[in-house]
A and B are shown apart, each in its own frame.
Chain A
Amino acid sequence: MATDPVPQIAEAIRLWSGVTCPNAAGKRGLEDFCALIKDFEAQRGTLVFEDEPSTFEAALRAEAESEA
Chain B
Amino acid sequence: MPALDLRDTKGNTWTLASLPREKPVLIEFWATWCTTCRAMAPMLKNIYRDRAAGSWDYVTISIDTDLSALTKYIEAERPAWPVLLDRKGSASKAWKVKSVPAFFIVKNGVIQAKWEGKIERKALELALIKAAMN
Do A and B pair up? The answer is no
